[in-house]
Amino acid sequence: MRFTELTWADVDPDRHPFDPDTVLDVVRAVAPAGGVPAPYRHERGVFDAAADRARWDWQRAMGAALVDHYGPWALGWNAEIAGRAADGALVLRWSGARDSITTPEETLAAVAGSLLDWRTFLEEVAEFLPRHLPLPAEPRAAAAAWEAAITSLVAMVAARSGADEHWYPVCAQTLRWFLAVAGVPAAEHDALIDVAIGGRYFSFVFPLGAEVADVAESVAAAVTGTTPAPDDLWPETWPQDWPNWRGRHLPAASHVPRVPAPVVVDALAVWRRVRQQARWERADRVTGPARAARDGIAEHFAKRGSGAAHLLAALELVRADAAGGGPLTFARLETWQREVLGVAAARFRAVSAWARAGAEHYPYRDDLPDSFAACLAEATDPAVPLPARAARVYLDIVHFHPFADGNARSAALAVYFVLAREGVVLSRAAPLLMTRWPASVPGNAEGLAAVIALLIRQTGRLQR
């Protein structure tokens, strides 16, 4: 059972007494026997699958123990809802077994903190409901109240999640709880959730106010059968401190203050500075052709399970484009990305984006598409060593974050293209694709170029 299967009765704080002062003691007492598994440590060329399974098994056992002690509401302890640190910033305390298991004491403290953050969120939802319910009976007033309530709810959830990639499933579930308490028949919930957010938002991009308005209007129209009058339309854009004037002044729906998102570093600005400072010209000038029996990137894609077929189909497009030569352009990236995501269009994002639990921010500016295109054009500049160009384009895509989803996959395809144009197909790709490459200083970016050079040389030795 997952938290997305819980009813409001399962999680309603009024039905489930809770003592926050004893949480850490409880976690220590119910933690799985055998202790906390060893934390994940990256080793070049080595991945211990058994140890990784042990970490995830421990997380599942920990969750089961919490549910046994507290009840089903505790299932959401790993729903990745952020909480407040001592300085007021939002902090994500648990982000999966692989990233969050450290020392035994720190790990148990993280579990306890994450459970507390989930409980705090449920208490916020419990306070939200009576502010907006019951809804008025008159159709026009009911439609307006529904719009205001849904707007406030989506804003509250997005802010509590730090406006990062994990807000989407929690938002859908919270909408489902609101529908239930509002008296909407359970049989209609899935259809209304699909009307509201099915395919509208991408989970890795912060929603625009106008998108939230459209969601709210869609739900209101579906529930009440009333559509806005021509003079009662939402504005094209909103400031990001939603809800807007309308939501704050309707007597049927009180305003719920937005929890401000934490201040985070502009990761794109940092990368652009590092990009200028890195000594790309000093990279190893290893060149192609270099190709062995194995295609490391293709093998890596094939192991992904869900989405592997789309990735491999996109890789065929990349191979064809590389064989034909020519520059790396956004049009090419978009064509590949449509195949990766299985969508009709993969446009350059038009909003700011976040990643890594809100710790990395990629702001949007009007000049971003042109700046990105200029960076892509440099990917085939023969004056720069091949490993440096491949590393640079990989980091360009990761930090410009051009797409709403799948940017790491796009970066991998771009590296394949840049290398394949010059006759290089890496025999091993795990060191590149299974490692996070922070580029906060030039040395890190240069290090990625060195790794790619090493992989090219290893491939060259295998083909002999």
Same domain as 375, residue 310: yes
**Distance separating alpha carbons of residues 188 and 267, to the nearest angstrom:** 42
Q: What pLDDT sits at residue 175? A: 86
Residue (of 269, 262, 286) closest to 390 by Cα position: 286
2: three-class secondary structure by DSSP: coil
For residue 184, the enclosing domain spans 133-263
Structure pTM? 0.51
Same domain as 144, residue 106: no
Same domain as 411, residue 274: yes
Q: Pairing state of beta strands 90-91 and 83-84?
A: antiparallel
Same domain as 449, residue 334: yes
Q: What pLDDT sits at residue 256? A: 38
Environment class of 30 (CB within 10 Å of its CB; exposed 0-12, middle 13-18, buried 19+): middle
Residue 46 β-bridge partners: 43
- Tell which of 229, 263, 297 closes a domain: 263
Same domain as 141, residue 68: no
- Tell which of 214, 237, 263 closes a domain: 263
Q: Give tens-digit pLDDT for 354-393.
A: 776 556 788 888 999 999 999 999 999 999 999 999 999 9
Same domain as 54, residue 99: yes
Same domain as 384, residue 330: yes
Which amino acid type is present at position 388?
A
User: Structural domain tally of the chain?
Assistant: 3
CB-CB neighbours of 351 under 10 Å: 15
Same domain as 394, residue 377: yes
Residue (of 68, 48, 46) closest to 56 by Cα position: 48
CB-CB neighbours of 352 under 10 Å: 18
- Tell which of 263, 298, 328 closes a domain: 263
H-helix or E-strand spanning residue 450: helix 442-462
What is the SS3 string spanning 282-331? HCCCCCCCEECCCCHHHHHHHCCCCCHHHHHHHHHHHHHHHHHCCCCCHH
234: three-class secondary structure by DSSP: coil
**Distance separating alpha carbons of residues 276 and 371, to the nearest angstrom:** 13
Q: Give tens-digit pLDDT for 422-441.
A: 999 999 887 788 766 767 78
Q: What pLDDT sits at residue 252? A: 38
Extract the residue ranges of the chain whose pLDDT is less than 70: 1, 45, 86-89, 159-168, 193-215, 218, 226-264, 356-359, 435-436, 438, 464
Same domain as 440, residue 337: yes
| CATH number (domain holding residue 372) | 1.10.3290.10
Residue (of 171, 168, 158, 160) closest to 201 by Cα position: 168
Same domain as 92, residue 67: yes
Average pLDDT along the chain: 82
Residue 266 β-bridge partners: 361
**Distance separating alpha carbons of residues 218 and 183, to the nearest angstrom:** 18
Same domain as 330, residue 314: yes
